[in-house]
Structures are given as structure tokens and as C-alpha cells.
Structure 1
Amino acid sequence: MSASLAYATQQINIYLRSIVFVCGVTSNIFNIIVFLSLATFRESSCAFYLTTMSFVNTLQMFFGLLPRTINVAFGIDWSITSLAYCKVRYYFFQSCSGLSYTCMTLATIDQYLATCSSPFWQRCSNIKLARCLFVLSMIFWMLLGIPVLYYYNLNTSTVTNQTICTITNPAFQRYFSYFNLLILLCLMPVGVTILFGILAYRNVQHLTYRAVPLVRRETDKQLTVMVLIEDVYNLFFILPYITVYALQLNLSVNTDPTYADRINLISAITSALYYVPFSSAFYIYVCASERFRRQFLYVLFKVHVNRCRKDLARNRILPD
């Protein structure tokens, strides 16, 4: 039984994580292309947050998901052969996770402000403020991750007697597990996005009756729908991870081995699905917004494909 559960855990770690990684990199690249190609999005503060989030999510794929997949599939773990990589990988994992969730939270708050009836709050939704908040958020998460560079070290496991990259300070381990991961990276962003998502949804119901330019109104409605559906979607993938992670933190050393193997199997599934919010934004936007689908096709075929054809025709060498 234990051997079967261990094998199932390994296969899930390899194949599910690989699928999430490939889909995630593709999703974030497409988002970046669409958001940077259209002036409508380049001038929108909410779209700015979604664009920067796509950049950060791509880094998260390479620093968080890819190394784990390579380790399980090929037995290659650079974090146990290089102390610098051990520290840098977990530093970027925390920084990118926190910054990605912050961008999603700020995008939700921004859409609440953009759809408010008060002109004062509407003016708070602007690209200059968005850039400042993003820079401040990036500095915050970079500073918050400094202890990770200090406390993550190479150590010998008392269970497997093998070298692992882990936190060597018990007090920081408790802080990192309970406050940092559970509260800062999971519960807090989920709570804030759901709260402001509900408020933005209430505002957008009355948006049609306000004296707002048509293009701005349609863009606000589109972005609000995209952000709100992504908030709800992410909730279903983050909560299972929080639950299983909390169970593992309180798992006794003397727990029945079969029960522990089952928890590890469920953890492998929820840990892989934890990366889905970092990898699925584009697919959510395509399914949620008909306007985004048209914009994507326009950008892909009318803008970039036609540009490539013109460049090829311009650079083609005619025969004598």
C-alpha cells in the first residue's frame, strides 16, 4: 500500500507539475503580449498590475515549480549542491509569490476604485499610482525575504540522513510556516481580494448608468469581470493547499505510516495545484471575456503575424 501511494505521489509530482509549468509559461507570455500590444491596456492601471503579475508569475514558474519537477523526475537537486542556489531559490520563491498575490490584490482594489461613483476614488485608479505601488510592493517583499537568505542552509536530515536545503532556526521555521506562508501568502490575499471583489461587483452593476466614456466603461467592465472570476478561481486552488499544509504542520512523528503516505499524496496534488493561480490567468480571461478573445486574436494575427510577414517581405532578397 505504501509503495503504491509513494509511486502515485511521484507520478503526480512529475506529470501534473510539468503540465502546469508548460501551460503557465504559455499563459503568462500570451498575457504579456496582449497587454503590452494594445493602448487600451497600456493606459489602464488594472492591466498594469495584471501585466507585472504575468512577469512575476513566469519567474515563479522557474524558481518554484521547475526545480521541484526536475528533482522528482531526474533526481537532480541543485539546492543541495550549491548553498547560494539553496538560498536564492527560496528567496525568489517567497518574493515572487508575495508580489504576485499583491499584484492580484491591487488589481482587485483598483477595479473597486475605478467603478466607484465618487470622482475622488476614481482618480485614485491611475497608472502613475499603480507604478509607485508596484515598486513599493517589490521593495517590501525583497526586504521581507532577507531572513530567508540567512536562515536557509544545507543540513543533514535526521530522517533520511541526506543533505537538504532547509531552515535551520526553529523560531524562524515557526514564523515562516504559520505567519509567512499561511497568513501573508494565503489567507490575507484571499480575504482582501474577496472583500474588494464583492464591492467591485456591486459597483459594476450600476456602471451603465453613470456618465463615463463608452471605451472606459467597457474596459472597466471587462477588467472587473476578468479579475473577479480569477479571484474566485484562485480561491478554489489556494484553500485546499492551506488545509493540507496546516495538517502537515501538525502531523505527529508517530502517525500511522499509511495515513502519512495518504497525506503526502494529497499534498503532492494540492502543492501542484497551488501553482495553478500563477499559470492560468490567460485561460481564465479567454473564457470569461469575449472582448479579450477578440483582442487576443487581433493582436496575434492582425498585429504580430502581419508585422512578421511585412518584415519577411521587406528583407527578402530578389533573384537577379
Structure 2
Amino acid sequence: MTNDTDCTTLQSYSYMSEQITKYIGVFLYIICLFGTVLNILTLLQRTYKTRSCTLYLITASACDFAHLNLEPLSNILQYGFNYDWTINSLIYCKTKSYLAYVFTVTSGTLTTSASITQYFLSSDKSTRWYYARRHIGIRCIKFTFIFWFIVSIPILFCSDRFYHIFQKERLICSNPARHIYCYTVQLLYICLFNGFLPPFIMLIFGLLTHRNVHHLGQRTRHKSIRIQRINQQLISMLILQAIKSTIASIPYSIFNCYWLSTISNHKALLLQAKENLIHQFSYLLFWSNYTSFFIYIYSSQIFRHQCMKALKKIICCRSGERERR
């Protein structure tokens, strides 16, 4: 009787995990993709595009778009709809994991760089303003891409396809951390570089920037009120982004640290099923890193205005094309 109960419980956990991926995952994917596209269109408006801070945010949004269509979309199809487009390809598995990690860690790094740039702009020391210039931003973006494309190479070696007991014995693509080398890669790359560090640094520089905000008005008296408002609202956007990233990333990082610390322990199937469900929740929460558009819309009146302006341009262009036809 106990075995029957345990079997039913295991099936329930597996079913819950599948349904969560199918419905919540699809919903999150749609709103994240929608928000990412609107982020790019809005930040490309003339009001924003000349600033190095928004240059970081535009590139970060482009990385988010690429990541969403590599990792989350394939996970939804595989775990939610039992459709695997990899056709058991180890090369595809390694390439997808590598590129998905490069794009997500690059996005986090560039968003963090945007926070640091706003801190430089709000500083009393004029020597720091130089590092907030556009040409410095372009160099930093190039360096960030090159850096992570090189540093992320270990992901290629550690990603593998293996059978997962709670995925109906299907092959999944991940880092099983079977060796100390891949264990270390998982700990450093997922928990630290892509987990704790970005929101932690963003939060620190966000608070430092907030402390310097009252100096901003004094230093920019010669500038227009509109420019001051844009800078102040960019600061608000990034501070809220830092808070949101902290809430989104920390649970996923904590779970990965727990999983790695107990990976060698013998675990009952029921405990593994619970862990699998918790992992699913924390992973979906991590996706909220890609909902920055809604944070920007909420925190900035100028961003809302520029977003409407971008949408009107698209609608007018499409209407003009239909009329010409």
C-alpha cells in the first residue's frame, strides 16, 4: 500500500512539473519575448539611443531575445509538450547550452554595467564622467562579448545529454556535474557569475547612485530639465531592476548551491521529485529577469511615452504599406 501511495505521489509531482512548464512557462515566455522586443524598440528612440547607459540596455535586451529562443523555448517544448527538436544531438546540446549561457551572462553583465555607468554620471568627481561616455560603452560591450565567449568555453565540455528519472526517462541537456571539474563549473558559472554577482553588484551601485542623486541637479543646472528627468528616471529604472533581479536570481542560485552540495548523497525518489519541482519553480522565477520592460514602464513616464511613440511608428508604417499596396 505504501509503495502504491509513493508511486501515486511521484506521478503527481511529475504531472505538476509538466503542467507548470506547459502553462506558466508558455505564459512567461510570451510576456518576456513581448517585453524584450518593446524594450529594444523603445530604447532605440532618439531620446535614449545617444546615451551609453541605454546602449548597454539595448544590447542586453538583444541578448535576452536570443537566450529566450535558445534555452527557455526548447525547455518548454521538451518538458511541457514532450517535443525534443535536438534529435539526440550531442553537438546541438553543447552548442545550445554554451550560447544560451553566453547570452544570459552577457545580458546580466551589461545591465550591471548600465548601473555602474549611472553611478559614474551621478558622481561628484568629474574624472568618473569620462567612463560614462558612449565610445567607452561601445568598447565595454565588445570586450564583454569577447570575454564571455572565451570564459564560457568550459560549458561546452560539461554539457551533456543524460536520462532524467522524472522526465519520463527522456534525454535532457544539462550539466550533470559528475566530475569535480564540471561541479566547479556549475558552482562558479551558474551560482556565482549568473546568480549572486549581477544582482548584488547592481544593488550596491543602485544604492550608491541613489545617494548621489541629490548632487545630480546641482551639477546639471546648465542642462535642460528634460535631460535631468531622463537621467533621474534611468536611475529609478535601474534601481528597481536591481531589486527585481535579486528576487529573481537568488532563489535559483540557492537551489543550485543546495543541489551541488547534496549531489553525492543517496536520495529517496520522493525527495528527488520534490527537488525537481522546486527547481522548476525557481527556474521559472529566474525568467522574470527578462521582464525588465514592465519595470521600466512602471518606473518611468518618459519610457512610457517613448514606448507609445515607437508603437505608433510601427502602426503608421504598416498602414502606409497597406495603402501603397
Within the candidate set 52, 55, 66, 2:59 is matched to 52
**CA deviation digits over 1:232-266, x for unaligned, max 9?**
01111111111222222233543343333222211
Q: Which of 203-212 and 178-187 deviates more? A: 203-212
Partner SS for 1:205: helix
**CA deviation digits over 1:95-154, x for unaligned, max 9?**
011101101110100110111122221222111111110010000110112222234344
Residue 42 in 1 paired to residue 52 in 2? no
Q: How many pairs does the alignment contain?
A: 312
Partner SS for 1:116: coil
Residue 16 in 1 paired to residue 3 in 2? no
Gaps of 5+ in 1: none
Within the candidate set 156, 159, 163, 1:152 is matched to 159
Q: Which of 207-216 and 176-185 deviates more? A: 207-216
Residue 275 in 1 paired to residue 287 in 2? yes
> 1:103: which partner in 2?
110
Q: Distance in 2 between matches of 1:211 and 1:158?
A: 61
Instruction: Read off the aligned partner of 2:213 and give its amino acid letter.
Output: V
Q: Distance in 1 between matches of 2:52 and 2:205?
A: 16
Residue 123 in 1 paired to residue 130 in 2? yes
**With structure 1 as the length reference, what TM-score do the two structures score?**
0.90
Q: Distance in 2 between matches of 1:128 and 1:227?
A: 21
Residue 206 in 1 paired to residue 215 in 2? yes
8 Å CA contact retained: 1:80, 1:86: no
Q: CA deviation at 1:207?
A: 1.9
> 1:25: which partner in 2?
33
Instruction: Read off the aligned partner of 1:22 and give its amino acid letter.
Output: I
RMSD: 2.2
Instruction: Read off the aligned partner of 1:196 and give its amino acid letter.
Output: F
Residue 187 in 1 paired to residue 196 in 2? yes
Gaps of 5+ in 2: 1-8
> 1:222: which partner in 2?
233
Over 3 Å counting, the alpha-carbon distance change for 1:269 and 1:165 in structure 2 is closer
8 Å CA contact retained: 1:78, 1:85: no
Instruction: Read off the aligned partner of 2:249 and give its amino acid letter.
Output: I
Over 3 Å counting, the alpha-carbon distance change for 1:190 and 1:30 in structure 2 is same
Over 3 Å counting, the alpha-carbon distance change for 1:162 and 1:232 in structure 2 is closer
Q: CA deviation at 1:35?
A: 1.2
Residue 284 in 1 paired to residue 295 in 2? yes
Partner SS for 2:124: coil
